[in-house]
A and B are shown apart, each in its own frame.
Chain A
Amino acid sequence: MALDSKIPKGPIKDKWTDYKNHINLVNPANKRNIDVIVVGTGLAGGSAAATLAELGYNVKAFCFQDSPRRAHSIAAQGGINAAKNYQGDGDSTYRLFYDTVKGGDYRSREANVYRLAEVSANIIDQCVAQGVPFAREYGGLLDNRSFGGVLVSRTFYAAGQTGQQLLLGAYSAMNRQIGRGKIKMYNRHEMLDVVKVDGKARGIITRNLITGEIERHSAHAVVLGTGGYGNVFFLSTNAMGSNVTAAWKAHKRGAYFANPCYTQIHPTCIPVSGDHQSKLTLMSESLRNDGRIWVPKHMKDVEAIKAGTLKPKDLAEEDRDYYLERRYPAFGNLVPRDVASRAAKERCDAGFGVNATGEAVFLDFASAIQRYGKEQAHVKGLNENDAALVTKLGQEVIKNKYGNLFQMYEKIVDQDPYNTPMMIYPAVHYTMGGIWVDYNLMTTVPGLYCIGEANFSDHGANRLGASALMQGLADGYFVLPYTIGDYLSNDIRTGPISTETKEFADAEKEVREKLDFFVNNKGKHSVDYFHKKLGKIMWNKVGMARNVKGLTEAISEIKALREEFWKDVKVPGTNEEYNEELAKAGRVADFLELGELFAKDALNREESCGGHFREDAVELDGEQKGEAKRDDENFAYVAAWEYKGEPSDAVLHKEELEFKDIELKQRSYK
């Protein structure tokens, strides 16, 4: 099937408005006869479910946690972008559009990104109306901070808990509709397959995680807002339950999977401390507003810090290498994430890592504390030369801005970041790749939509900070409710979809067989054993720097591991009860397939772009020497993979990317 992205004609500025003016609408009386399934209650799914219900559709929403409020979006820390230009610093829809396309290293679809930038401002209005308590200035207006890869302050935030506040906003909108009976909520339900009838998505199969019951649910359309697949690396900043299962099942039913290799490795996470580790913790990018990143200039100081004979804060300024400020003077500590992560890896690979494992750099707040302290002393008319007072005042400012993050750090590392620099290292954080969707956010399966992190759409090969929250809410509140209406307008006479059909029965049978297999297999190793092994292969060979040899090895190692898994996995307990090992087994089985496709995609893409860095594609000389080298001539396309059985048989379809409103340039942050 040829890919049709269905981008509306006309100038980019007018596309969305024109589109909305010309789509088919469903009248309110007919909406009552139409059912929509929304899987996922994060920012994307939650906002979509609430809005669709409010429009009058009958919504069934699903999540695997015990409440929609616990979706992984809750953990987002730093903020949400919007082109409000409240700071009067030159922001605009165009600039947000431009920054996002450039930040994504020119691998996203212009029309989608422009629409995202266009609706962004409205998200903030909406959230404030819902009572989301964003940070404010003394005058009562909204405050902003800046994030990496841009030159304006357009990030709205609620301390270090922005995701929590936005999700609770969407959750409250859902609650209103649940109270009215327009959303039926299914907590602790895991979707295990999509059901297609006459080629259209018409339902899902779920497992009730408490009772083990397998259920059939039908609807006129199915929406997936099931989040990212970073946990294919085992260790990531994602929640423990985040998984690819819903997306992967959709893929197996005909939805193309786009750019699986585009993964964001976030530069500021707490380093790995040992083999027992179950997940990694992010320290928000917002910290780079005030923290300066460095390692010692000289190896002897590295040794002394590691040995504990030199305290990092005692190392003289001239003996420190603020390598981001040195290499990228224009953006300094605020370069985009992919650039910052590679720079940290480069220093650590050269031996300058500052902890026992050699995989950590410093993120230092000392100068910000002094700067804020002096400012406060001045404002309050106190002595600006009183060092102790200035430090105390400065620490208070930092505490107000990032208190929860500092506390989190202290609990995990057992060091006080107010008095000694934090240690950080890159970790897997976000997946730009995902299910391919057209301009309508519909997948290659009619009636199956995909929103939020689960789709591939807006961030190209690298996502800018604070843009995932923006995309999730844009998709759910403002985009999908229009585009899905256009599709559903054909269903006003269809009537309820029966679950008593062969299609549902077959899908259910397949799900049951898989579950039965797991509990009866009685193999040698736990699910985690395989997941950890997969994670190691992914991190070592498909991680921050990739090459042909490593990728080729990864492909065959993952395949072998998958075979071993199906032979030897051990799942205790039964089907008919709460059984976390069983749930995990299904998820890891899917990760084991995705992992291989991921490596295959990385091998196919013989260029470096955004988060995808190929060691054989770097600038060899000039000012950009050593930086990533994109190949627009051969790779300015979205790689959309069609499922054909084994991942090795997947067929590549290309959506060529056209850049009409932004000139393709080498990304420079120097």
Chain B
Amino acid sequence: MNLTLKIWRQKNASDKGKMVDYKVSDISPDMSFLEMLDVLNEQLVNNDEEPVAFDHDCREGICGMCSLYINGEAHGPDRGVTTCQLHMRMFKDGDTITIEPFRATAFPVVKDLIVDRGAFDRIQHAGGFISVNTSGNTIDANAIPVNKHDADKAFEAATCIGCGACVASCKNSSAMLFVGAKVSQFALLPQGKIEATDRVLNMVKQMDEEGFGNCTNTGACEVECPKGISLENIARMNSEYLKASLKG
């Protein structure tokens, strides 16, 4: 396949940035999207140009590092996959592909296609944990039975990879799906109930401080989430928040 790429280039956080056109040829449909970008970068290096900076690490859809906005969609046209799992067979010879970073006020661009998602970490620092010591003096694991249904739901919520696609696809740049997933994981487990009130209040407060927008229930986040995190988690967080506010 031969393709035209329109890529966002921005030298650093203070640079204005612009779209630049590139051509790549002989792309195999079996390549992953990032392998296609590897081809471009090899080409740029060989021509003494600067390669395009993008985040990636595991390249198997689990670390949450990759974060491209491809043809107007977070993680591109395929469903249920991250950018690194997107394959070139989703595109046709002659296509033009636009590639931009995940955009949101709370995710400033670092360089080219790389953004700073530190805001997500800070929300977790505010309450994304259960306060147990890690010294091992805990009760036997099977002393806390958990109903399988709840355990499975908690697991599903916990599979969020923290990529930020939900934020990038939301017109309000809301982080409710991400935060809802963490709050839900713990709210569904007996171990997490003890600190439920403080957790939801602190995490939501931090989320607001980071400059994420409000949720207006458009559901775009769920559609683009590579891990199928469900809107149900936002509803659960809202009810946890309401409960906590009444208490607090």
Contacts and interface: CB of A to CB of B under 8 A. Distances in A.
Interface of A: 47, 50-51, 54-55, 65-70, 72, 74-75, 84, 86, 119, 122-131, 133-142, 158-159, 161, 164-165, 168, 171-173, 175-176, 178-179, 185, 187, 210, 239-241, 273-274, 276-279, 281, 407-408, 411-412, 414, 477-478, 481, 526, 528, 570, 572-573, 577-578, 580-581
A477 B134 contact: yes
A477 B136 contact: yes
12 contacts: A54-B135, A67-B162, A70-B58, A75-B60, A124-B141, A128-B144, A142-B142, A172-B124, A187-B118, A210-B111, A570-B45, A572-B50
Interface stretch (B69-77, B152-160, B212-220): B152-160
Contact of A119 (B125, B136, B140): B136
Nearest to B89: A414
Interface stretch (B27-35, B171-179, B234-242): B27-35
A161 B34 contact: no
B55 A66 contact: yes
A178 B125 contact: yes
A414 B87 CA distance: 10
Contacts of B211: none
B65 A70 contact: yes
Given A278-B38, A411-B81, A129 B57 contact: no
Contact of B134 (A66, A126, A408): A126
Given A66-B55, A171-B124, A74 B63 contact: yes
Contacts of B130: 129-131, 172
Nearest to B65: A70
Contacts of B89: 414
B102 interface: no
A315 B62 CA distance: 36
B124 A572 contact: no
A122 B62 contact: no
A528 B141 contact: no
Interface-central residue, A65, A172, A239, A570, by most chain B CB under 10 Å: A172
A240 B50 contact: no
Given A165-B155, A176-B129, A573 B56 contact: no
Contact of B129 (A75, A175, A240): A175
B94 interface: no
A417 B57 CA distance: 26
B110 interface: yes
A278 B155 contact: no
Contact of A125 (B49, B58, B87, B140): B140
A65 B57 contact: yes
- Tell me if B's interface is mostly helix, strand, loop or mixed: loop
A556 to B, nearest CB: 28
Given A126-B136, A159-B155, A239-B59, 20 more contacts: A51-B135, A65-B57, A67-B162, A68-B121, A70-B57, A74-B58, A75-B63, A124-B141, A125-B138, A133-B158, A135-B155, A158-B155, A168-B158, A179-B125, A241-B57, A274-B31, A278-B34, A281-B60, A412-B87, A580-B51
A368 to B, nearest CB: 21
B134 A578 contact: no
A129 B139 contact: yes
B63 A65 contact: yes
Nearest to A525: B46
B131 interface: yes
B203 to A, nearest CB: 11
The listed residue with most A CB atoms (<10 A of its CB), out of B55, B142, B161, B185, is: B142
Given A130-B130, A581-B45, A573 B124 contact: no
B14 interface: no
B246 interface: no
A278 B35 CA distance: 7
B89 to A, nearest CB: 7
B53 interface: yes
Given A133-B151, A175-B129, A69 B136 contact: no
B125 A526 contact: no
Nearest to B153: A133
B53 A274 contact: no
Contact of B39 (A65, A141, A276): A276
B38 A129 contact: no
B154 A50 contact: no
B145 interface: yes
A295 B134 CA distance: 47
Contacts of A141: 142, 145
Contacts of B11: 577
Contacts of B46: 526
B131 A277 contact: no
Contacts of B44: 572
A240 B132 contact: no
B114 interface: yes
Contact of A526 (B42, B129, B140, B151): B42
Contacts of A137: 148
B232 to A, nearest CB: 16
Contact of B50 (A119, A158, A573): A573
A210 B110 contact: yes
B59 A86 contact: no
Contacts of B152: 136
B136 A240 contact: no
B77 to A, nearest CB: 13
Contacts of A578: 12, 53, 110-111, 114
B195 to A, nearest CB: 10
Contacts of A70: 57-58, 63-65, 162
B198 to A, nearest CB: 12
A54 B152 CA distance: 30
A408 B124 contact: no
B126 A278 contact: no
A137 B145 CA distance: 10
A525 to B, nearest CB: 8
B136 A478 contact: yes
Contact of B189 (A131, A168, A241, A572): A131
B130 to A, nearest CB: 5
B47 to A, nearest CB: 10
Contacts of B111: 210, 577-578
A142 B143 CA distance: 10
Contacts of A66: 55, 65, 116-118
A463 to B, nearest CB: 20
Contact of A131 (B38, B63, B80, B185): B185
B134 to A, nearest CB: 5
B210 to A, nearest CB: 14
B191 interface: yes
B110 A239 contact: no
Given A141-B142, A142-B142, A172-B128, A580 B53 contact: yes
Contacts of B147: 140
Contacts of B128: 172, 175
